[in-house]
Amino acid sequence: MMPQLTQDMHADQTTPLSTEREFSTIPRSNAEAVWEYPSPQQFYNALARKNMAAPEEYVDVMVDIHNFLNEGAWNEVLKWEARHK
């Protein structure tokens, strides 16, 4: 199970970040739902928890790239599975 990720602003943060989350196309194991990507605020908090500096002005783009790469990887898995049925 995924941990609950806070949407609260981090103590060291100076700029509010979006708390909006996007749904992926990747199904969860119960096949009735899909994964939900972290919001920019959750992404920032996760990086801060790991002591990884992240310029606040780039977090939105970082989340977009994260989501794009996950979707691309999932599509590659689907192509591989289609070839090996």
The predicted-structure confidence for 15-67, as pLDDT tens digits, reads as follows: 999 999 999 999 988 777 999 999 999 999 999 999 998 899 999 999 999 99
Give residue 76's pLDDT. 97
Q: What is the pTM of this model?
A: 0.86
Give residue 1's pLDDT. 59
What's the CA gap between 77 and 83, in Å, rounded?
10
The owner of tokens 């196309």 is 25
What's the CA gap between 39 and 21, in Å, rounded?
5
Tokens of 9: 């602003």
